[in-house]
Amino acid sequence: MKRIMFVCKKNSRRSQMAEGFAWALGKGKVAVNSSGLEKSEVDPLAIKVMLEIDIDISDQTSKTLSNFKPENYDVVISLCGCGVNLPEEWVLREVFEDWQLDDPEGEDIEAFRKVRDQVKERVASLIESLN
């Protein structure tokens, strides 16, 4: 079973969605966490757009990367371009990718849906490639 860490600057939107998709799409195939360079709160609109497709991330919390050890992960995915700011030991895992997805800030629900769908497509491809 591959162990995946999704990382974003604040662990409030994209990385939370990715964690939710990985749990839903990779059940029994992957172990997943998400974290941020800074701690924040899970954005209510991220929760809302995930619930629209029957994935509940309302129990997920924002966590900082410093709470985790890189040796416990095989795959590290940056969703925001923050890969350049990660400590080297995180970037040198078996798989490292930096997806650089737009941040759906504000109240634009359509922007959240667009990013949600992009995250789903990327996570599905990632899980398929790992198995």
Here the CATH number for the domain that contains residue 36 is 3.40.50.2300
Does residue 8 carry a catalytic annotation? Answer: yes
Is the predicted pLDDT of residue 131 greater than 90, yes or no? no
Query: How far, rounded to the nearest angstrom, does the alpha carbon of residue 109 sit from its chain's CA centroid?
Result: 19
- Taking the CA atoms of residue 114, residue 84, residue 37 and residue 65 in that order, the dihedral angle to the nearest 10 degrees is 110
Catalytic residue among 4, 5, 7, 8: 8
Q: Give tens-digit pLDDT for 6-34.
A: 999 999 999 999 999 999 999 999 999 99
**Among all chains, which residue has been given the structure tokens 């491809």?**
125
- CA 37 to CA 121: how far, in whole Å? 24
- What is the CB neighbour count within 10 angstroms for residue 84? 8
SS3 67: helix
- Number of independent structural domains in the chain: 1
pLDDT digit string, tens, across residues 83-117: 888 999 999 999 999 999 999 988 899 999 999 99
Residue 82 annotated among the catalytic residues of the structure: no
- Containing structural domain, residue 43: 2-130
Query: Whole-prediction pTM value?
Result: 0.95
